[in-house]
Every structure is written in structure tokens, then in C-alpha cells.
Structure 1
Amino acid sequence: MSRSASFLAIATLLAAGSVAYAQSRNGIESAPLLPPASVGQPPAAAPSQSARPQYPQLPPPGAPRTAQPGAQLPPPSGQQQPPAAPQTPVTTPPVAPGSQAPAGDSNDYVVVQPSAERISNPTAVYAGLDKITGRITSFEAAIGETVQFGALQVTPRVCYTRPPTETPNTTSFTEVNEITLKGEAKRIFTGWMFASSPGLHAVEHPIYDVWLIDCKATPPGTAKSAGQK
């Protein structure tokens, strides 16, 4: 009886081992085979969490909406978008005659300041100095008239002043001739005289000096010869 029991136990163990071997072989054959790795390439790493695509998160219902700079959000449902403000056309003012618009910005313009108004007077008033005696004599000359002072002949061509509301500026275009010992007239001065700056354009003469004092709107008085008061 002991031999039969031992044979029975051995047969049971062999049957169980064959069944386990068959099951393990079937599992290995049914599993798919991995492709062989290429030589020189590292094994592919598993995709990390950071490589996953990021999707924008939608706000919860009822939360205020935000937009990126420059983006325009549609109006909420049930509301109409207000109409856009009308654009006012830009009109370019005309350029004044005598002025030129710059070639750069079209909104820039050249402002031409009008020249100061000047008044033309019929009479010029001068002062003459005799450097030998030191005597100063004032005399008047009408426009285009020649008045003699010593050996000098003074002829005003124009005499201008400004209105009382502006800065005073009295000027005269004058011609001065010198009478030589031979009785000939020699031009020694031609130009503008300024009453505010007598030394700016002065008459260069060794004995006599003449400069502008004022302009008068009335004709000159009785003409006086040189040297008379």
C-alpha cells in the first residue's frame, strides 16, 4: 500500500507541473513582441507630463470675461453693440498768399508775420554839427528838396515813422554831397539814417556832421541857409 500511494503522489505532482508549464508557455506565445531597437539610438523615453499640450482653461459660468490686448469681445447675449462714433473729416486750411507750406508734415504751416506799418512823411528833420565851432544847428528839408549846411548839401528821398502804438523807428534815405573848392558836388553819403542810432550810418567829413532827428507830417517852414538859426 505504501508504494501505490507514493506512485499516486508522484503522478499528481507531474500532472500539476505539466499543466503549469503549458499555461506559462501559452502566455508567453500570446504576448506581442517588441520591435528590435536600432543600433546607436537610445531607447525612447516615456512621454513626460510637461510635454502634454496645454489647453486654455475656460472661466466658470458667471465669471467676468477678459480679452487679450487688442482683441475685441463680442457683446453679451441679449445686448446690442453701440454704434461706432462718426469720424469728423479733417479739412486743411488754405495757405495764405506769399507763404509756402512745408514739405514734411501737412499739418504744419508757415506763419508769415506781416510787416510793420510805416508812415511816409513829407518832411525830414536833421541836426548839423560844425566841428570847428562846436555849434549844432537843426534844419528841415522836404522830400526831394536839397538843403545846404555849410559845405554839405542834404537831400532826403523818403522819411518813415511808425504808428504811436508800435515801437518808434524813424528812418530816412538821404543823399549828402560836398561842395568842393572848385564848386563841384561830390557825393560822400548815400544810405539810410536812423534817428535812434545816429552813429550807425554817419556822414564822414572832417568839418561837418549831419544826422537824422525826426520826420514831420507837415511841410517844412521857411528854408534857412547854412549857419542861420
Structure 2
Amino acid sequence: MRIAAAAALLLLALPAAAQEWVPMRSARLQALDKVTARVSILDAPVGRAASFGSLTINLRACQGRAPDEVPDAAAFMEITDSRAAPGSPPAFRGWMFANAPGVNMLEHPVYDIRVLECR
């Protein structure tokens, strides 16, 4: 969480022209099953749930850069695992960044999710 907060502060320190985020309707996600090494590409619309293995991915927002800027994407997601104990918190809740996947990532023993782009 500290890294995500530092990234947010860094974004605030950039000039206004470098912060042009545009709301998008869906995200392309790369999903990895670490056990089988199966990689899948998921299209997740904002406001709907997508599934991968035992994960349910709820995409709350997806922001992309303006066409005249360096491509990037940021997606706010809540990811739950159906195999988790009842009442346990989500496996992930927060922003993921396409150009900085290590800043805020899903920490799961079996699955990995990464944002590729917003559309």
C-alpha cells in the first residue's frame, strides 16, 4: 500500500499535461495460472465481473492515456477467490498500472493478473 501511495504522490507531482487520463469502458487483462503455465487474455467490461479459475475480477474503472500521450492504462479492480475462507477480505482491491505492474499487484499463490490496456 505504501508503494501505491508513493505512486499516487508521484503522479500528483507531474505537470498537468502529463496526467491526462481518459475513462474507458473495458480492460484487456493477462491472466496466468502458475500451476499449468496457462496464459489467457480476458476482456473485462467496467461494472461487470470476469472469471479466471477460482477468481472473480470486478473491474470498477479503467483509465487510459490520451492518444497524443505515451500509452498507459490504470484499472481499479476488486478480485475475490471463491476458495478463500468465508468472510475473508478480497485477494486484491486497488489500482493496477500497465506500465508499472510491480507497483500494486495481486499476491496469490496460484494466479497472476496484469493489466494490458484499457479500451
**Which category of TM-score, normalised to the shorter sequence, fits these structures?**
0.7 to 0.9
In the alignment, the residues of structure 1 paired with residue 74 and residue 32 of structure 2 have an alpha-carbon distance, to the nearest angstrom, of 19
Query: Which blocks of at least 5 consecutive residues in structure 1 are unaligned?
Result: 1-112, 217-229
**Aligned pairs for 1:21-100 within 5 A:** none
Paired residue total: 104
Matched position secondary structure for 1:165: coil
Q: Runs (4+) of structure 1 moved beyond 6 Å?
A: 181-185
Partner residue, 2:65: 162
Q: Which residue of 1 aligns with 2:117?
A: 214
- Who is 1:178 aligned against? 81
AA in 1 matched with 2:113? V
Structure label with greater radius of gyration: 1
Q: Which residue of 1 aligns with 2:16?
A: 114
The answer to whether the 8 Å contact 1:128/1:136 transfers is yes
Q: Tell me how far 1:169 sits from its aligned partner.
A: 2.3
* Distance (Å, rounded) in 2 between the aligned partners of 1:179 and 1:186: 11
Identity %: 33
Q: 1:50 matched to which residue of 2?
A: none
Superposed CA RMSD in Å reads 1.9
The corresponding residue for 1:35 is none
Check whether the contact 2:76–2:94 (CA below 8 A) recurs between aligned residues. yes
**Higher relative contact order, chain-length normalized (CA < 8 Å, sep 6+):** 2
Residue 192 of structure 1 is aligned with which of 95, 98, 113?
95
TM-score normalized by the length of structure 1: 0.42
**CA shift in 2, pair 1:136/1:199, >3 Å:** same
SS in 2 for 1:191: strand
- Give distance in 1, aligned partners of 2:62 and 2:84: 31
| Equivalent of 2:35 in 132, 142, 153 | 132
Residues 66-95 of structure 1 show CA distances to partners (whole Å, capped at 9, x for unaligned) of xxxxxxxxxxxxxxxxxxxxxxxxxxxxxx
Structure with the larger strand share: 2
